[in-house]
Amino acid sequence: MTDQTSLILALAQVNPTVGAIDANADLILQWAAQAKQEFAADIVVFPELVLTGYPPEDLLFRPGFIALVEAALDKIHRENPGLCLVFGAPRHQQDCLYNSAVISQPGQPLQFYDKQHLPNYGVFDEQRYFVPANDVCTLQVKGVTLGILVCEDIWFPQPMAQAVAAGAECIININASPFHDLKTSERITEIKQRIAENKVPVCYVNLVGGQDELVFDGHSFVIDRERNLLSMAAGFEQGLSVVQYQASGELTALTLSVAENSSIEQLYQALVLATRDYVIKNGFQRVALGLSGGIDSALVLAIAVDALGADAVQAIMMPYEYTADISKTDAADEARRLGVEYSEIPISAAVQAFVHSLEGEFSGLGRDVTEENLQARSRGVILMAISNKKGALLLTTGNKSEMSVGYATLYGDMAGGFAPLKDVSKLKVYALARYRNTLSPVIPERVIERPPSAELAPDQIDQDSLPPYELLDPILAMYIEQDRSVEEIIRLGYDQDVVKRVTWLVDVNEYKRRQSPPGVKVTHRAFGKERRYPITSGFRQS
């Protein structure tokens, strides 16, 4: 395929499982062997901390965990299929732990590059575990000098400049960079800036797969020294991207490069991958969800089927006296279109049993939201019973707009194991539903067009309790994702009373969100580990 003056470099975009060190070591060796067999690769590069999965969090504090890492490093080096391997792993040295790139070459001792810049913002907490380093690392493969950087290092000028000053002709950057909207463009823009400063190409390999609240999109790429995007891997799937580096410095892509998908398509792919990996990596084979005939549950049903297959999904409709006939019709239609197991279990008997049990306790007290919540909680009990009995993970169907303002019932519609839409606003739910219908028409148009309703009271719609989503969602985005103050939002032209009410609802419902199931992060700021606000707080913005 090539002469001795060129180098075949493969970027292995793989999906490890956090803590599955032996399986991850096998993953590295399998993909390395494949790259050698299919492309005669001289070097195969894997993502950051691929050996442990990312982020390993407090597993890093366990001596037994580090001992397994060290044993796996020996195994990979011993079973190296005869080429240069670069992959991420923690490295313990003299009572310090480093986030490292490991270099394994046949006949040579292991070589390491330790990450210099440790991110400690958003979802990142690396300074809790690792010590920063400042050494440069270059390696020679077939006469080409390569510089090694780990993830965050490429966002700062100095590490790449140091590597180039040490003779690097091409930079390898290994990453575990989580997805959020427009993240790929941000990476490319920043790396083109580094290339403009140093005049050498960059090979960027990124992790792929779901891990708890995070999803990694892959989109590994190569940019040449003229800042041309030479190659990009498909997002949200494993694969090899292979390039040939000539002694002249010219790069040629040997595998197909893909165009970046639209923002809404990437968002949908992220939700599907995150749901699949959360279910499968946690040992489940099936999921269940409540199907209301509304747009949120319809979208979650489509995501679940696309993630796991129709045979692994059960949808349960639980009507009450306030459930519209069209809701029952549409829910059954959605289940039919997607081919899933479908059950209809009325909740009237369960609700009345609770009401009867509480008659004495509620004597003399008028009807209020409590009775509405009894409906939601009856549904939660039924769904959790099915989950327990059938070993199916329960998916919740609430969206970010609802979770932001507490428009959800604890131990009712919030009951479950994973929340695919937890970081997806209501307006994005509509956009995703319309996108999914371009693939195949699985969500009835009436479901998209109907005013949303919890159907817990006669003729109820969401706008009885909330501002229109066209108004609510921008306020929430500014307050939660952009950290804008109440005063700033009002100055942008939003009604003062509406802004104050919405932001107050966000603040006082932290206790609910703290008890909600995990959901995947897809925006710049998600609830959970990225947005850590106290439940008990006297701070209120006027």
Three-state SS annotation for 79-114:
CCCCCEEEEEEEEEECCEEEEEEEEECCCCCCEEEE
The amino acid at 20: A
φ, ψ (nearest 5 deg) of residue 91: -130, 125
Dist. CA 268–CA 279, nearest whole Å: 17
Question: Has residue 205 been placed in a domain?
Answer: yes
| Tally of domains in the chain | 2
Identify the sign of the CA torsion 260, 265, 271, 272. negative
pLDDT value of position 247: 78
* Domain end among 260, 294, 329: 260
- Backbone Cα Rg of the chain: 26
Same structural domain, 54 and 149 = yes
Contact partners, residue 36, CB within 8 Å, separation at least 6: 44, 81, 82, 83
Dist. CA 330–CA 344, nearest whole Å: 13
Question: Has residue 140 been placed in a domain?
Answer: yes
Report yes or no: 145 and 169 within 8 Å, Cβ to Cβ: yes
Dist. CA 15–CA 239, nearest whole Å: 10
Structure tokens belonging to residue 519: 């959901």
The residues that bridge with 287 in the sheet, in sequence order, are: 313, 393
Dist. CA 517–CA 412, nearest whole Å: 12
Same structural domain, 243 and 298 = no
Same structural domain, 363 and 439 = yes
* Domain end among 462, 491, 510: 462
Strand order in the sheet with 144-150: 138-141, 144-150, 170-175, 202-206, 221-223, 229-232
Report the alpha-carbon angle 424-474-538, nearest 5.
Answer: 90
Same structural domain, 314 and 242 = no
Question: Has residue 519 been placed in a domain?
Answer: no
Same structural domain, 76 and 218 = yes
Question: Has residue 316 been placed in a domain?
Answer: yes
The residues that bridge with 242 in the sheet, in sequence order, are: 10
Same structural domain, 234 and 275 = no
Dist. CA 246–CA 1, nearest whole Å: 12
Structure tokens belonging to residue 231: 């190659």
Same structural domain, 281 and 369 = yes
The domain spanning residue 346 has which CATH number? Answer: 3.40.50.620
Give Cα separations from 78 to 111, 148, 422 (angstroms): 14, 22, 44
Same structural domain, 241 and 350 = no
Is 48 part of the annotated catalytic residue set?
Answer: yes
The domain spanning residue 244 has which CATH number? Answer: 3.60.110.10
Structure tokens belonging to residue 525: 């700021």
pLDDT value of position 164: 96
Is 183 part of the annotated catalytic residue set?
Answer: no
Dist. CA 415–CA 396, nearest whole Å: 7
* Domain end among 260, 290, 323: 260
Query: What pTM value is reported for the model?
Result: 0.94
Question: Has residue 441 been placed in a domain?
Answer: yes
Question: What residue numbers bound the domain in which 16 lies?
Answer: 6-260
Q: Which of 84, 126, 137, 151 is catalytic?
A: 151
Helix boundaries (H) for 233-324: 263-281, 295-308
Helix boundaries (H) for 440-485: 445-449, 469-476
Q: Which residues of 252-267 are buried (b: 16+ CB within 10 A; e: fewer)?
A: eebbeeeebbeebbbb
Same structural domain, 185 and 245 = yes
pLDDT value of position 3: 47
Per-residue 3-state assignment (H helix, E strand, C coil) for 375-403: HHHHHHHHHHHHHHHHCEEEECCCCHHHH
Contact partners, residue 26, CB within 8 Å, separation at least 6: none
Question: Has residue 246 been placed in a domain?
Answer: yes
Same structural domain, 370 and 237 = no
Question: Has residue 531 been placed in a domain?
Answer: no
Dist. CA 95–CA 223, nearest whole Å: 38
Q: Which of 84, 115, 183, 402 is catalytic?
A: 115
Neighbours of 66 (CB within 10 A): 17
Residue-wise pLDDT tens for the chain (542 aa)? 344 568 999 999 999 999 999 999 999 999 999 999 999 999 999 999 999 999 999 999 999 999 999 999 999 999 999 999 999 999 999 999 999 999 999 999 999 999 999 999 889 999 999 999 999 999 999 989 999 999 999 999 999 999 999 999 999 999 999 999 889 999 999 999 999 999 999 999 999 999 999 999 999 999 999 999 999 999 999 999 999 998 778 899 999 888 888 999 999 999 999 999 999 999 999 999 999 999 999 999 999 999 999 999 999 999 999 889 999 999 999 999 999 999 999 999 999 999 999 999 999 999 999 999 999 999 999 999 999 999 999 999 999 999 999 999 999 999 999 999 999 999 999 999 999 999 999 999 999 998 877 666 676 676 767 899 999 999 999 999 999 999 999 999 999 999 999 999 999 999 999 999 999 999 999 998 888 888 888 887 75
Same structural domain, 221 and 326 = no
Packing angle of the helix pair 469-476, 496-508 (nearest 10 deg):
60
Question: Has residue 470 been placed in a domain?
Answer: no
Count of residues in the chain: 542
Is 137 part of the annotated catalytic residue set?
Answer: no
Same structural domain, 22 and 77 = yes
Q: Is 503 exposed, middle or buried (0-12, 13-18, 19+ CB in 10 A)?
A: buried
